[in-house]
Structure 1
Amino acid sequence: MSEPEQNDAGTDGADAAVDTVAPRRKYPVGAIVLLALAAAVLWGSSRLTWVTVASTDGLTEPRTDHLNGGVWFGALTPLALVLLAAIAAVLATRGWLRRMFGVLIGLVAAVTAVPAFALLTKSGATAARAATLAELPGRATVTEVVTAPFPAVLALVGALAAFSAGVLLARMPQDAAQLSGKYDNPVFRRAAATEEVTQRRTEEAAAGANSASGQLSERVLWDALDAGTDPTEEAGALSDDQGKRAD
Structure 2
Amino acid sequence: MKRGGVGLAALLLALAALALWASSRMTWVRVVSSDGLGEQQTSSLVGGTWAAATTPLAIAAIAAVAALFAIRGRWTVLLAVLVALVGVGAAVPAVQLIVSGVDPERAGALAELPGRAEVLSAEASRAPAALALLGGLLALAAAVVVARTSRSKAGLSARYDSPAVRRERAEQDVRSAAVDADEEPSERAIWDALDSGADPTATDDARGADGRPRGGETR
Q: What TM-score, normalized to structure 2?
A: 0.77
How far residue 64 of structure 1 moved from its aligned partner, in angstroms, is: 1.6
1:144 aligned onto 2:121:
yes
Q: Deviations over 1:122-177 (max 9, x none)?
A: 35x52111101011122110112121111011111111111111112122251248
Paired residue for 1:73?
51
Q: 1:214 aligns with which of 184, 190, 197?
A: 190
User: 1:44-123 residue pairs with structure 2 within 5 A?
Assistant: 44-123=22-101
**C-alpha spacing 1:155/1:203, structure 2 compared with 1 (3 Å):** closer
Paired residue for 1:42?
20
1:193 aligned onto 2:163:
yes
Structure with greater helix percent: 1
In 1, Cα distance between the equivalents of 2:150 and 2:193? 20
Root mean square deviation, CA, Å: 3.5
Q: 1:129 aligns with which of 91, 106, 123?
A: 106
Amino acid at match of 1:89: A
In 1, Cα distance between the equivalents of 2:165 and 2:81? 32
Paired residue for 1:158?
135
Structure 2: gaps spanning 5 or more residues: none
Amino acid at match of 2:139: A
Q: Secondary structure at the match of 2:67?
A: helix
The number of residue pairs the alignment matches comes to 205
Q: Secondary structure at the match of 2:69?
A: helix
Paired residue for 1:227?
none
In 1, Cα distance between the equivalents of 2:79 and 2:128? 27
Q: What TM-score, normalized to structure 1?
A: 0.69
Structure 1: gaps spanning 5 or more residues: 1-23, 182-187, 225-229
